[in-house]
Amino acid sequence: MNSQSIPKPIGEDDLHAQADNRLAGPRRAEVDDWLASHAQEAGQVAAWRAQNALLHRAFDNILESPLPARLVDASRPRRSANHWSWRMAAVVAWLALGGVAGYWLRGDSGLAPDSRSLASLPRQAAIAHAVYTPEVRHPVEVGAEQEAHLSAWLSKRLGAPLKPPHLETAGYALVGGRLLPGEGGGAVAQFMYQSANGQRLTLYVRNDASGSRETAFRTAQEGGIRVFYWLDGRFGYALSGETAAFTSAELLRVATLVYRQINP
Amino acid sequence: MHSRDAIVAEIPRLRRYAHALLGEANRADDLVQDTLERALSRWRLWQPLGGQGTPRAWLFAIMHNLFINQLKAGKAIDYRPDDEVPDLPTRPTQEDALGLRDLTRALATLPGDQREILLLIGLEELSYQEAAKVLGVPLGTVMSRLSRARARLRGVLDEEAGGGILKVIK
């Protein structure tokens, strides 16, 4: 760059930068000199400056006005203790009823939990994915900031140790999790993950209570949702993402990461 | 928690921007609320990326995405200037009040993407690079869009100053 000998021509970008006070000293002086002999462009810069000033006059008072309570609340952790425990009580009550009903049904029919077919896993997972991922305000019951609590709670409800896998290395942060009713009154966990550009994945975990079985990854598509699912030990896992956003390869990559964390 | 305080500190600026962007206080605060909730669910993602500095650009980017979704859903197209409500205590003179009403009306005529760039640069004083990051577009697009937005705002304001006689804006 030989900017000392031949000055860079002044372009429109320079004029915007001048109006926005974005030019460094020497260049600013150059542009000022140039504007002194170009009245029309100087008028333009002045008009843009006036626009900026007008915007500030119109809207700066909002900076000083008191914050509405709802915004202060929104910047706190997702759930207040009261709200949270109320919801949890409702879920526990619901599940207790479901559990009792499930127990009686099982007694009557003699159906073993094993008879729940593996085929229902992707469908249940896809439905849960479709219901909860569009939620902006309440995508999860317990947020990632209470991860230890989330883990303890879901382990207790599903009757076996369960921790949300960490998928940051694949580009997905844990949003949190929720408890869902499964078939026959069992409890199911759903963990939700989100990428930096807002794409959401869910991991649906069902306690199949049948000792250690293991299956290969299987895939299914339910509506617009792609699901990878497998059985491992006493849990059935299903990882779901929208077909439009996730290729099989991408979902498989994440599913592999999940599998490795469960089986270190 | 450090990052949450940093987010709270940005609320006034998010409100100013949203208000100017949508023209109406309630809907602006709805957008701010959605932005905050989304940000909180994702602040782990911000922390490792930009542990230093403020989360300002990141928050504006989240708000931009929500705004774009609203535009797509057809919700935010009807910019509503709430100039019927005399809630701007900083309007010192009658003349000024008229100027501000003209401004909100003029903003309402800008397409959403031009309104965004005009406000990010002229009101929020983001650098051109920051604005490009927030909007997810190249720097060249920022400059050309800014140029169009300023020309259009100028045209509309001139027209209003000229007694509302319809003129062709090039």
Beta bridge partners of B80: none
A140–B41: do the CB atoms touch at under 8 Å? yes
pTM of the shown model: 0.53
Domain boundaries, chain A: 12-64, 76-262
Query: Which residues make Cβ contacts (< 8 Å) with residue A96, sequence separation at least 6?
Result: none
Q: What is the mean pLDDT of chain A?
A: 79
Over the stretch A87-125, which tens digit does the pLDDT of each residue have?
A: 344 444 444 444 333 333 333 333 333 435 677 888 889
Over the stretch B35-64, which tens digit does the pLDDT of each residue have?
A: 998 888 776 665 544 445 678 888 999 999
- pLDDT recorded at residue B3: 62
Length of chain B as a residue count? 170
Burial of A229 (0-12, 13-18, 19+ CB in 10 A): buried
Q: Write down the CATH number for the domain with range A76-262.
A: 3.30.200.100
Over the stretch B97-136, which tens digit does the pLDDT of each residue have?
A: 556 777 888 898 899 999 999 999 999 999 999 999 999 9
Grade residue A198 by pLDDT with cuts at 50, 70 and 90: confident
- pLDDT recorded at residue B113: 93
- pLDDT recorded at residue B97: 58
A51–B118: do the CB atoms touch at under 8 Å? yes
ipTM above 0.90, yes or no: no
Torsion of CA B124, B127, B128, B130, to 10 degrees: -90
Q: Is A16 on the interface with B (CB under 8 A)?
A: yes
Domains of chain B in start order, with CATH, are 2-161 (1.20.140.160)
Name chain A contacts of B45, Cβ cutoff 8 Å: 173, 194, 196
Over the stretch A250-261, which tens digit does the pLDDT of each residue have?
A: 888 898 888 888
Using alpha carbons, select from A23, A74, A132, A133 the residue that is nearest to residue B18. A74
Mutation pick from A14, A48, A73, A200 vs chain B, by most beta carbons of B within 10 Å, is A48
Over the stretch B64-107, which tens digit does the pLDDT of each residue have?
A: 999 998 887 765 455 555 544 334 434 344 555 556 777 888 89
User: How many contacts does A have with B, using Cβ atoms within 8 A?
Assistant: 124
Query: Which residues make Cβ contacts (< 8 Å) with residue A80, sequence separation at least 6?
Result: none
A242: alpha, beta or left? (left if phi > 0; alpha if psi -120 to 50): beta
B81: alpha, beta or left? (left if phi > 0; alpha if psi -120 to 50): beta
Name chain A contacts of B44, Cβ cutoff 8 Å: 144, 168, 173-174
A168–B100: do the CB atoms touch at under 8 Å? no
